[in-house]
């Protein structure tokens, strides 16, 4: 019999486990030197700025996702789900750590990383005044979009494998792999705690609006700030090149309206919307070094060292 005040956890398997996907903590060690080209993507300075803007925002957003996930952990009743959520938290911590390391390189090049993070901080400051359920909904909406972009990176080599330096490419390929791997972890935890009723659905839709705002407003503002540092913010050709890259060829964001509309469905689930578990199995050997894996006993939730 369990002691008073303790939870009795069930052994219910997670939706990821049912598809043979194990959310696993890894600690790769990507080194970044000043010899990396400042315009490291062959798509040009604006495309490079877009990816740099995502990296600048990543540590702040990942930290928020960690806090939101941690609020759910104590309310879960499945042992497997608790473990998966903890692995999700650890993965996000490692993502934040490695992007901070890359952002140090950006600062070394003279980019005002802290100033570029200010719009993200303002959004998070407003969110801090809302309920925990709403913040979790924003986080899982963001995870949906990030997982969607991760799938594109893994399935369209031309998006990143044409980059001028594979040290940066490896960061984004690994990050994309893990975003796809854990794409259902926060969604399943939120659903387990808050259910699928009208309130949970409204939280999810409102959270989607905030996530879209970050993607279509905050990230472009950061791109503009980075281009300004390079004297390119007022060059129409650079913005046109970025538009072609995002929406034409290779089309990183082309057709993403489907992801929005599917997320609006009351019965939406990340794996039933897009079951790309086979993709993870196919790319694992190329993108994941077994030596990166960290045994569960060596880490704690939120550990990002």
Q: Which of 86, 62, 65, 63 minimizes the C-alpha distance to 74? A: 86
**20 in any annotated domain:** no
Q: Is 23 a domain residue?
A: no
pLDDT at 32: 86
Is 263:208 a contact under the CB 8 Å cutoff? yes
CA 131 to chain centre: 22
Number of domains in the chain: 1
* 100 alpha carbon, distance to own chain's centre: 14
139 part of a folded domain: yes
205: CATH: 1.10.620
Secondary structure class of 61 (helix, strand, coil): helix
Mean pLDDT split into 10-residue runs, the chain, 305 residues: 48 90 94 89 96 97 91 92 96 96 96 96 92 92 92 93 84 96 97 94 92 89 97 96 96 88 93 96 94 71 42
180 in a structural domain = yes
- pLDDT at position 297 is 54
Domain contains 232: yes
- CB atoms inside a 10 Å sphere around CB 295: 7
* Residue 120: inside a domain: yes
The SS3 of residue 281 is helix
pLDDT at 21: 97
42: CB partners within 8 A, 6+ apart: 162, 163, 164
Q: Among residues 207, 196, 62, which one has the least CA distance to residue 132?
A: 207
| Within-domain flag for 34 | no
For position 134, what pLDDT does the model report? 93
Geometric angle at alpha carbon 270, from 302 and 149, rounded to 5°: 75
Nearest-CA neighbor of 279 among 153, 192, 194, 132? 153
- State the pTM of this model: 0.92
pLDDT at 121: 94
Residue 83 belongs to what domain range?
Answer: 40-289
The verdict on residue 179 lying in a domain is yes
Q: Which two tokens stand for residue 145?
A: 């979009």
């Amino acid at each position: 019999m369990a002691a008073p005040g303790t939870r009795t956890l069930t052994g219910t398997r997670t939706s990821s486990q049912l598809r043979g996907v194990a959310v696993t903590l890894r600690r790769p060690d990507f080194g970044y030197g000043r010899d990396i080209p400042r315009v490291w993507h062959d798509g040009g300075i604006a495309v490079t700025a877009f990816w740099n803007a995502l990296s600048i925002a990543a540590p702040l957003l990942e930290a928020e996702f960690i806090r939101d996930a941690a609020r759910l952990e104590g309310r879960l009743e499945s042992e497997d789900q608790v473990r998966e959520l903890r692995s999700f938290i650890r993965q996000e911590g490692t993502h934040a750590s490695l992007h901070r390391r890359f952002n140090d390189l950006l600062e070394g090049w003279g980019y005002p990383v802290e100033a570029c993070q200010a719009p993200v901080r303002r959004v998070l400051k407003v969110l801090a005044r809302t309920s925990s359920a709403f913040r979790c909904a924003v986080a899982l909406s963001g995870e949906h979009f990030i997982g969607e972009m991760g799938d594109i990176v893994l399935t369209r080599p031309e998006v990143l494998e044409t980059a001028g330096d594979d040290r940066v490419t490896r960061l984004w390929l690994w990050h994309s792999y893990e975003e796809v791997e854990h794409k259902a972890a926060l969604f399943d935890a939120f659903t387990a705690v808050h259910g699928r009723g009208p309130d949970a659905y409204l939280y999810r839709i409102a959270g989607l609006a905030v996530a879209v705002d970050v993607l279509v407003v905050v990230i472009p503002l950061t791109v503009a700030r980075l281009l300004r540092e390079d004297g390119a913010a007022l060059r129409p050709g650079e913005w046109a090149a970025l538009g072609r890259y995002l929406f034409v060829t290779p089309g990183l964001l082309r057709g993403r309206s489907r992801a929005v509309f599917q997320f609006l469905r009351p019965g939406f689930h990340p794996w039933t919307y897009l079951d790309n578990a086979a993709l993870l199995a196919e790319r694992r050997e190329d993108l994941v070094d077994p030596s990166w894996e960290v045994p569960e006993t060596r880490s704690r939730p939120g550990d990002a060292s």
